[in-house]
Amino acid sequence: MSFSEFTEQDYRIIREDYERLRASAEKRCASSAELEVVDRAFEFANDAHRNVRRRSGEPYMLHPIAVAQIVVDDIGLGYKSISAALLHDVVEDTEYTVDDIRERFGNKIATLVDGLTKIKNVLDSKQKAEGPEAQSLQAENFKRILLTLNDDVRVVLIKLADRLHNCRTIEHMPEHKRDKILSETMFIFIPLAYRLGLYGIKSELENIWLRYKEPDAYEDIKARMDKIAREKGPELTEFVAPIEEALKRAGFTYEIKKRQKTPYSVWHKMQTKQVAFEEVYDLYAIRIIFDPKQGDGTESERDQCYRIYSTITGIYRYMPERLRDWVRHPKSNGYEALHCTLLSNSGVWIEVQIRTRRMDDIAEKGIAAHWAYKKSGYLGEGDYEMDNWLSHIQEILANPNVNALELLDIIHNDLTSTDIYVFTPKGDQRSVPKGATALDFAYMIHTEVGNKAIAAKVNQKLVTLNYVLKTGDKIEIITAEDGCPQPEWLKFLATRHARDVVSDYLRAERKQSVEFGRKTLDNAVSALGYTLDEALLQRLEVAYEAESRDTLLYGIGIGDISLDKLPEILKRSSGTRLSWIRKVLRLEKSQDEAPKGNGETFIIDSTDPNAPHLAIATCCNPIPGDPVIGFKAPDGTVTVHKKTCPVAESIAAMHGDWVVVPKWLEQIEDRSFPVRISLKGIDRMGMLNEITGLVSQTMGLNMRSLSISADGGLFHGYIDMFVNSREILEMLIKKLNAISGMDTVTRIEL
């Protein structure tokens, strides 16, 4: 922030922005008295922030106005939340206190502002402590944020609006702060927006994340989608016309909206499914929003959704396996809709979403709309799911035995999990996380049922406790009086609650096993000539795919994790600590503010003999040209990851004060980096020779392994190789794609 006298133009912009907000707020306010509170909040905040500017140079007051605009338009909250959004930075950035807010605006608005101030303080705070206390700082911060869910969910909703506007203007932030904010956003705020039903906010945050984390990919996908939208627009209009006519004949009052996949959702599908842009088929969707017919003897909302589905699938061919029935089985965030995929007359697959007006309100405005309908006495199937999820989160937060890092891990896993639906022997439906086992289900019934479980019956067939449940399974747990938790259960339990119960049961011997595991690992590492420091422990966690440090050491201690491959792992990663890395990477000193004694900044270059060690992360294997982020661990080692690496997102979210800014300086001809590319195409005589000849002879690249298989005239496989830079890799991919019969060539994770 900076201070300079406002001009007439500044005052005019502030007034115009507030008039737009006031027009929106007036529709939400139940009386002129409520609107008057909003007016007073604006005048008070406007005076408090007078002559204060943001990094962009614009008046600071435009930020709280924008946050309040999101609160009313995108979330649908009322006058107290709008007022709190206008006031949310006053206590933090001016001389006013929470008591001043309480005196002028009442206890509820003051409480909301106080909650928002505490969140901002913990997110921006810096820690001088060392050891475990410093390492868990970021997790402690998030624990405090999440605890506000127990007090008033509106605090989190307003914070989401604040985070969205900060991300909209993030280009004015220095890069290391951008990386920290975006990683926090992806790790916790985007999943929170999803779980609270705020799809619009979630999608916009995801797109901003991609625009800065992978700018080239974002621009490429956006340009392709814009081109297709121009070309295919008339086809979509033609597709909708018969549907509109059929709905009119059926007597429905409806609205049809056209929508396109976001660049992030396309990029995410390309990454997770390992497909090219051309293989992402459902780029378009239309949304049918209808007002259900009311009255005695009329069909239920659910049945009316099915009738529309029957009507439109009578017009177009449909893909049965793509039917998603979230009307009968709503998502845990309350989302209800019926999704199907239809084939247009021009041969394009188009997703159709069917919702009632109530379902659409909840899908767009999430929990705020859920409250509104609940208050009016209407509860749909999805509303119970929303209440169940909030109760579940509150149970987790109330557990005094969970430390901050464990809590953040639990909440993150819960936020990002996907539910499936199973049935008890009596036919009661239960939702369980995707990947949950029969034993997880036993612990969901009761702790003692889980502790004494010995087997299960699924669909009347006897199965072991590690059986992975599928939607529609009918499950019965078999117990024995002398049954008790076993250490091997931790290998397959998928839910945190079940794992915690078993871990607690085994805790006495677990602590001893962890200590023994650390000693065993330290001796093994020392015998090979290495030191067991923080950077090496991080790499071993990734190499052994351990959920946490404790899991790794415990597994080694009880003999479940073998150290047979340790020499190979150490050899593979040892080169990453050599001084040559300093010739291609530099850590930039932040220019946004002077050092304050904490939050150290520094520069690494090839002439600095005292610079910390640099390590290339083996979890994502970045190469010169990739957007990268760095982390300076407590032992001084700086590990460099791709910005989109999930491990990096987790570290940045939990340890935001470790973030540093690495930059690629140059390409070194005698140094190369491992990459893997996936290939798919039509098999023909000489295809393999042409591929290997292009890689080895034309491009002069060193292949370290190749796996190609053909079946039914098609081939697929991958090549592991070494390249000097992303530019060379992209050139290779372009040349491979030009080979006759080649379908797709994509870079994938090793």
Write the Ramachandran bin of 186: left for phi over 0, alpha for psi from -120 to 50, otherwise beta.
alpha
Six-digit token string for 44: 């008070």
Question: Are 446 and 424 spatial neighbours (Cβ–Cβ below 8 Å)?
Answer: no
DSSP string, 561-595: S--TTHHHHHHHHHGGGSGGGGGTEEEPPP-SS--
Q: What is the pLDDT of residue 586?
A: 64
Q: What is the pLDDT of residue 308?
A: 94
Identify the residue whose tokens are 């549907």.
243
Q: Phi and psi (nearest 5°) for 34? A: -65, -40
Q: What is the pLDDT of residue 80?
A: 92
Question: Are 566 and 528 spatial neighbours (Cβ–Cβ below 8 Å)?
Answer: yes
Host H or E run for residue 290: strand 284-291
CATH 1.10.3210.10 boundaries in the chain: 2-196
Indicate the DSSP class of residue 658: G
Enumerate residue ranges in the chain where pLDDT < 70: 1-2, 120-151, 295-298, 332-333, 366-419, 508-509, 535, 542, 547, 571-613, 635, 666-671
Q: What is the pLDDT of residue 369?
A: 59
CA 195/CA 93 separation, integer angstroms: 31
CA 225/CA 261 separation, integer angstroms: 9
pLDDT in tens, 3-22: 788 999 999 999 999 999 99
Identify the residue whose tokens are 């625009």.
211
Question: Are 433 and 422 spatial neighbours (Cβ–Cβ below 8 Å)?
Answer: no
DSSP string, 475-494: EEEEE-TT----GGGGGT--
CATH 3.30.750.200 assigned to 673-748: no
CATH 3.10.20.30 boundaries in the chain: 417-505
Task: Identify which of 635, 551, 503 has the alpha carbon closest to the alpha carbon of residue 135.
Answer: 635
Q: Treating both helix axes as pointing N-terminal to C-terminal, what angle do 107-124 and 79-87 enclose, rounded to 10 degrees?
A: 40
CATH class of 417-505: alpha beta
Three-class SS state of 30: coil
Question: Are 675 and 639 spatial neighbours (Cβ–Cβ below 8 Å)?
Answer: no
Three-class SS state of 98: helix
Task: Identify which of 123, 102, 13 has the alpha carbon closest to the alpha carbon of residue 57.
Answer: 13
Measured in whole angstroms, the distance separating CA 653 from the mean position of its chain's CA atoms is 11
pTM for the full model? 0.68
CA 463/CA 467 separation, integer angstroms: 6
Question: Are 383 and 210 spatial neighbours (Cβ–Cβ below 8 Å)?
Answer: no
Superfamily covering domain 215-378: Beta Polymerase, domain 2 (3.30.460.10)
Residue 670 among the catalytic residues: no
Question: Are 496 and 412 spatial neighbours (Cβ–Cβ below 8 Å)?
Answer: no
Where does residue 554 rank: exposed (0-12), middle (13-18), buried (19+ CB within 10 A)? Answer: buried
Other C-beta atoms lying within 10 Å of the C-beta of residue 232: 18
Pairing state of beta strands 673-682 and 714-723?
A: antiparallel
Residue 93 among the catalytic residues: yes
Task: Identify which of 502, 519, 332 has the alpha carbon closest to the alpha carbon of residue 414.
Answer: 332
CATH 3.30.70.260 boundaries in the chain: 673-748
Q: What is the pLDDT of residue 164?
A: 95
CA 225/CA 263 separation, integer angstroms: 8
pLDDT in tens, 312-367: 999 999 888 778 888 887 776 677 899 998 988 888 888 899 999 888 887 777 66
Per CATH, which fold does 2-196 belong to? Hypothetical protein af1432 (1.10.3210)
Pairing state of beta strands 429-433 and 349-356?
A: unpaired
- For the chain, what's the residue count? 750
Six-digit token string for 96: 């006013």
Question: Are 261 and 225 spatial neighbours (Cβ–Cβ below 8 Å)?
Answer: yes
User: In three state form, how does the secondary structure of 724-742 look?
Assistant: CCHHHHHHHHHHHHCCCCE
Angle of CA points 193, 196, 200, to nearest 5°: 50
Looking at 92, 381, 547, 730, which residue is catalytic?
Answer: 92
Q: What is the pLDDT of residue 650?
A: 77
Strand order across the beta sheet in which 475-479 lies: 461-463, 453-458, 475-479
Is the Cα dihedral 427, 432, 438, 442 positive or negative?
negative
**Segments in 400-530 forming alpha helices (H):** 404-416, 438-445, 447-451, 496-505, 507-527
Three-class SS state of 609: coil
Question: Are 176 and 660 spatial neighbours (Cβ–Cβ below 8 Å)?
Answer: yes
Is the Cα dihedral 412, 415, 420, 421 positive or negative?
positive
Q: What is the pLDDT of residue 90?
A: 92
Question: Are 378 and 362 spatial neighbours (Cβ–Cβ below 8 Å)?
Answer: no
CATH 3.30.460.10 boundaries in the chain: 215-378
Looking at 17, 93, 387, 476, which residue is catalytic?
Answer: 93
Six-digit token string for 293: 């017919």
CA 630/CA 663 separation, integer angstroms: 9
Question: Are 664 and 564 spatial neighbours (Cβ–Cβ below 8 Å)?
Answer: no
At residue 134, what is the residue type? A
Pairing state of beta strands 714-723 and 702-711?
A: antiparallel
Three-class SS state of 355: strand
Question: Are 630 and 660 spatial neighbours (Cβ–Cβ below 8 Å)?
Answer: yes
Is the Cα dihedral 450, 451, 457, 463 positive or negative?
positive
